[in-house]
Amino acid sequence: MSKPKVAFYWCASCGGCEEAVVDLNEVVLDVVEAVDIVFWPVAMDFKVSDVAALADGELAAAFINGAIRTSEQAEMAELLRRKAGAVVAFGACAWLGGIPGLANLYSRESLLEFVYRESPSTVGDGVRPLEEFTAPEGTVRLPHFDEDVRTLDQVIDVDYYLPGCPPPPGLIAGAVMALLEGRLPEKGSVLAPDVALCSECPRADSKPEDLKIERFYRPYEIVADQETCLLAQGLVCLGPATRAGCGAVCVNANMPCTGCMGPTGRVVDQGAKAASAIASLIASHDEDEIATLAAQIVDPVGTFYRYSLPASLLHRRVGTDGSGNGKSTDATAPAGASTPGGAS
């Protein structure tokens, strides 16, 4: 009897999600035992034509990680959508846009200018790549670099979401097995617990009843106590506004949660909700002092929307979509980052 076929693919991502599959360790043997991996560019030599040759719906599941930034990524997502019974948005980038999604703070034009001309590390004559070039040997093409970063479900229909940067091995194994055994949750489900990280945090007991922050610290500014709630120590820990399921790995390494598991089910805009949760902890009634404390949070958009800008209500910075909308332009880029890559 033939085993169910699955595919793994990567779009705008770092490769960490692929590592996460490898991190399954010996569990990966159970997975390989149970399924036929017919497409996995990072690890196996199959071609796009092999995928195209499959019948529609022949794949039991396609696990797609990464956000969508190029025409090639969109085409591959659409191809896999046709071939797969279930599409799983794998990891924070596919679900919410992830770190690559922060590029939505800049226009396409300013990104290309910076990378190919202005960056101090750029060597060469400032030539930008052409999408099409005809040489005597023939015509070569590059994918189109889109106007903005999109989440996977802004490009194709998605069945399930696996959160995390990268998704924790336990959740991956659980999701794969659930799919194989036909224990399918409701379409659109996020395959992780729907509670906040604080509920599984080992330091939850040290979280004060009336938590107030008198000064915000960045992780390098203090040596954090290893037992106490990080928020109580003034670190911007997004545990209260982030989905559980990771086992609090960052907190266990004495680092605050940065929100990669995404929001819980009742939240629409992760950044707004996280900012709301943190702001209400400010220990002051004085307007000037509140403003001063809020300003201690360096790069609030990058902090609270670190993994979710393309999925947010605004989707991107106003006036940077190349349509001439709004009066804002790149000339007033986010504080401390007047050019892409120029952040401190």
Residues 130-149 that bind other proteins (CB under 8 A): 148
Per-residue interface string for the shown chain with other proteins, residues 75-114, x marking contact by CB under 8 A: ------------------------------x---------
Rounded to whole angstroms, the Cα distance separating 341 from 344 reads 9
Choosing from 50, 56, 157, 221, the residue that interacts with other proteins (CB under 8 A) is 157
The alpha-carbon radius of gyration of the chain (Å, integer) is 22
CB of 272 to other proteins, least distance (A): 4
Closer by beta carbon to other proteins, 18 or else 153: 153
Of 27-35, 84-92, 180-188, 274-282, the segment contacting other proteins by CB under 8 A is: 274-282
Closer by beta carbon to other proteins, 260 or else 278: 278
Letter string b/e over residues 252-288, b meaning 16 or more CB atoms within 10 A of that residue's CB = eeeebbbbbbbbbeebebbbbbbbebbeebbeeeeee
Q: Which of 312, 18, 287, 11 is CA-nearest to residue 167?
A: 18
Is 115 one of the binding residues for other proteins (CB under 8 A)?
Answer: no
Choosing from 122, 252, 328, 338, the residue that interacts with other proteins (CB under 8 A) is 328
CB of 327 to other proteins, least distance (A): 6
Contact status, residue 344 vs residue 220, Cβ threshold 8 Å: no
Q: Which of 206, 227, 93, 198 is CA-nearest to residue 154?
A: 93
- What is the residue whose two structure tokens read 């800008």? 309
Is 294 one of the binding residues for other proteins (CB under 8 A)?
Answer: yes
Rounded to whole angstroms, the Cα distance separating 234 from 290 reads 14
Is 331 one of the binding residues for other proteins (CB under 8 A)?
Answer: no
Choosing from 300, 306, 307, 340, the residue that interacts with other proteins (CB under 8 A) is 300
**What are the residues whose beta carbons fall under 8 Å from the beta carbon of 32, sequence distance 6 or more?**
none
Residue 88's DSSP bridge partners are 63, 160
Is 72 one of the binding residues for other proteins (CB under 8 A)?
Answer: no
Is 343 one of the binding residues for other proteins (CB under 8 A)?
Answer: no
Per-residue interface string for the shown chain with other proteins, residues 49-68, x marking contact by CB under 8 A: --------------------
Contact status, residue 155 vs residue 74, Cβ threshold 8 Å: yes
Contact status, residue 79 vs residue 293, Cβ threshold 8 Å: no
**What are the residues whose beta carbons fall under 8 Å from the beta carbon of 220, sequence distance 6 or more?**
none
Alpha-carbon distances, residue 24 vs 8, 20, 42, 224, 324 (angstroms): 15, 7, 16, 31, 47
- Read off the amino acid at residue 298: V
Q: Which of 196, 194, 184, 195 is CA-nearest to residue 160?
A: 184
Choosing from 75, 280, 338, 341, the residue that interacts with other proteins (CB under 8 A) is 280
Is 254 one of the binding residues for other proteins (CB under 8 A)?
Answer: no
- Residues in contact with other proteins, counted by CB under 8 A, come to a total of 54
Closer by beta carbon to other proteins, 252 or else 338: 338
Is 317 one of the binding residues for other proteins (CB under 8 A)?
Answer: yes
Contact status, residue 65 vs residue 100, Cβ threshold 8 Å: no
Q: Which of 147, 145, 162 is CA-nearest to residue 107?
A: 147
Of 23-31, 47-55, 187-195, 289-297, the segment contacting other proteins by CB under 8 A is: 289-297
Is 297 one of the binding residues for other proteins (CB under 8 A)?
Answer: yes
Of 29-37, 82-90, 201-209, 309-317, the segment contacting other proteins by CB under 8 A is: 309-317
Is 320 one of the binding residues for other proteins (CB under 8 A)?
Answer: yes
Region for residue 241 given its phi and psi (left: phi exceeds 0; alpha: psi -120 to 50; beta: otherwise): alpha
Is 238 one of the binding residues for other proteins (CB under 8 A)?
Answer: no
Binding site for other proteins (CB under 8 A): 105, 148, 150, 153-157, 266-269, 271-273, 275-276, 278-282, 284-285, 287, 290-291, 294-295, 297, 299-301, 304-305, 311-321, 323, 325-328, 332, 334-335
